[in-house]
Amino acid sequence: FMPMVRLEVGGWLRERLDATGAHRGNFSVSIPEGETILGMARQFAAQNEVFRKIVFKQEEFGANVLVILNGIFVNPQNRAETLLKDGDEVMLLPVVDGG
């Protein structure tokens, strides 16, 4: 049994990731037991080149993305320690650049 989490991607990040419209910004990600938010994101990035290019900067989770776990904001410093469990919902929201 592999735990499954729902990954929801919002804003312009969703538009870039989901050009086909097939997922509507929702992805199911199978994770190992005891995986962290950062680990799950790395795993997804390994499978999705667009995600990897947009979200990761030098193997770090980009500061340009907010992480919400089950409706609660996760501080960027805690992403590497926050453990996921089966059924969790992770939302990634890109920070909008001013201009």
- Asked if 89 and 6 count as a contact pair (C-beta separation under 8 A), the reply is yes
pTM score, two decimals? 0.86
Mean pLDDT of 4-16: 89
Closest to 17 measured CA to CA, from 6, 27, 31: 27
Whether pLDDT at 36 is above 80? yes
Strands 26-30 and 56-57: unpaired
Strands 89-94 and 65-69: antiparallel
Alpha helices (runs of H) in 5-96, residue ranges in sequence order = 11-17, 37-47, 49-55
Whether pLDDT at 77 is above 80? yes
Whether pLDDT at 6 is above 90? yes
